[in-house]
Amino acid sequence: MKLIFFILILFTSVLKSQISINYTIKKTEGTNKHILNINIVNHTKIKYLIPIDTTGFRVYYPEEPCSNFYYELSADKGLGLMLLFKYNEEYVMGDSKSNHLKDIDLDVMTSSKLDEINNKILKKWKKKWGFKSDLSAKKNMYLYESLLSLKPNESISFIKEIDFSEFNNTDIFYNTYSLENGKVYGFSLSHCIDENIYLNLTSQQRKKFKNYTFFNGTIYSKETEVKQ
pTM, entire model: 0.85
Question: Is residue 175 in a domain?
Answer: yes
Q: Give the domain extent around 167.
A: 18-100+144-227
CA angle 51, 62, 19 (to 5 degrees): 35
Domain count, the chain: 1
Crossing angle of the two packed helices 134-146 and 108-129, in degrees rounded to 10: 90
Q: Is residue 28 part of a domain?
A: yes
- Tell me the pLDDT tens digit for each residue of 103-155: 545 455 455 666 777 889 999 999 999 999 999 999 999 999 999 999 999 99
Q: What are phi and psi of 91, to 5 degrees?
A: -80, 140
Asked whether 177 and 83 are in contact (CB, 8 A), the reply is yes
61 falls within a domain: yes
pLDDT digits (tens, 9 = 90+) for 62-86: 888 887 888 777 788 899 999 999 9
Q: Of 141, 166, 164, whose CA–CA distance to 69 is shortest? A: 141
Among 52, 26, 56, 25, which residue's Cα sits nearest to residue 38? 25
Q: What is the pLDDT of residue 63?
A: 86
5: left (phi over 0), alpha (psi -120 to 50) or beta: alpha
